[in-house]
Amino acid sequence: MNSETLIPHAVVVDEVRADTPDVKTFRILTREGGKPFDHIPGQCAMISVPGVGEGMFSITSSPTDEAYMEFSIKKCGHLTNWLHALEPGMEVTVRGPYGRPFPVEDELRGKDLLFIAGGIGLAPLRSVIRYVRDRRENYGDVQIVYGARSKEDLVDYEEILTEWMSAPGFTVNLTIDRAEEGWDGHVGFVPNYVTELNPDLAKTVLVCGPPIMIKFTVKGLSDLGFKPEQIYTTMELRMKCGVGKCGRCNIGSKYVCKDGPVFRFDELGELPDEY
């Protein structure tokens, strides 16, 4: 690996899965095989297509996925349009890992965990979920509340059905925004669904999704009696360097790329409302 944090290395796109109409999951390997570096769930990496640009993405595979690294990426701009055109065998560059991860080996150990995600917001949580599933003995019960606009917008739907629902101690609650044919599950927005499910106050919460979803979910949790210290989220702001120097991803005195992206809500409460 390169000693310089701003110089990336080339990796091979090994597999591309179309998760939803606008989300693809990319599995990458070094040319020799294997993953380019180790990470802890919640950390990110900079992916680039030379000549197009670089962007920060959550690593969605788990450290326990020893043979590869994965990213789930939504098509929403210049760079992601290019990434979506990639085919297996092509190369991109990657550098990382960046940022403060979820405290999987500290505060989260031994806890009952409640994951709440909306849309592509599942991506950063997937790394934790897979990690917890593979280190089952270290954690309590796991509840996953996940919603999307429609059934086809649920990221990792296959994996949820075949792997998560059957994992010991896992409960999965899915919801979609509007009723549709072929869906007999819950219909409604994530924040309301969480309130309906009335989770146990002893749980530690990890939430990620569109800002508006996070806002209402956290308000709902707070009304139920959850404390900010129990809730973790992961932030996304524009980043260029990934190492706390280029100066654009700060919220107050904290840099999302370095001091985050994972924040506890009591920490966020100390920061100005500019995200």
Partner 1 sequence: MLYLKAEKLDAFLARAAETRKLYVPVDSEPGRSSYREWTPGTAVSRGLHTTRSAKDFFFPQTENLAGFRVEDKKIRVIDPRAETEDFAVFGVRACDARSFGILDKVFLADPVDTYYENRRRHGLILSMSCRRPAETCFCKNFGIDAAEPEGDVRFTDDGDGWYLEALTEAGKAFLDPLADLCEDRDPAGAEAAKEKTREIVDRLPLNDLPVGKFGGGKTKELFDRPEWAELSEACIGCGTCTFVCPTCQCYDIRDFDTGREIRRFRCWDSCMYSDFTKMAGGNPRLTQKERFRQRFMHKLVYFPENNGGEFGCVGCGRCLASCPIHMHIVKVMKRLGEDENEQ
Residues that bind partner 1 (CB under 8 A): 2-10, 31, 48, 50-54, 76-78, 80, 89-93, 211, 236-238, 240-241, 243-253, 271-272, 274-275
> What is the β-pairing status of strands 204-208 and 113-118?
parallel
Q: Which is nearer to partner 1, 136 or 215 (CB)?
A: 215
Q: Which is nearer to partner 1, 54 or 108 (CB)?
A: 54
Q: Which is nearer to partner 1, 126 or 258 (CB)?
A: 258
Q: Taking the complex as a whole, how short is the minimal distance between the CB of residue 150 and partner 1, in angstroms?
A: 19
Q: Taking the complex as a whole, how short is the minimal distance between the CB of residue 68 and partner 1, in angstroms?
A: 19
CB atoms within 10 A of CB 141: 15
Q: Taking the complex as a whole, how short is the minimal distance between the CB of residue 98 and partner 1, in angstroms?
A: 10
CB 39 within 8 A of CB 59: yes
Closest by CA position to 189, among listed 156, 150, 142? 150
Q: Taking the complex as a whole, how short is the minimal distance between the CB of residue 270 and partner 1, in angstroms?
A: 8
CB 162 within 8 A of CB 134: no
Element (H, E) at 207: strand 204-208
The Cα 247–Cα 255 span in angstroms is 8
Q: Taking the complex as a whole, how short is the minimal distance between the CB of residue 255 and partner 1, in angstroms?
A: 9
Q: Which is nearer to partner 1, 21 or 185 (CB)?
A: 21
Edge-first strand listing for the sheet containing 44-49: 53-58, 44-49, 91-98, 9-20, 23-29, 69-74
Q: Which is nearer to partner 1, 197 or 271 (CB)?
A: 271
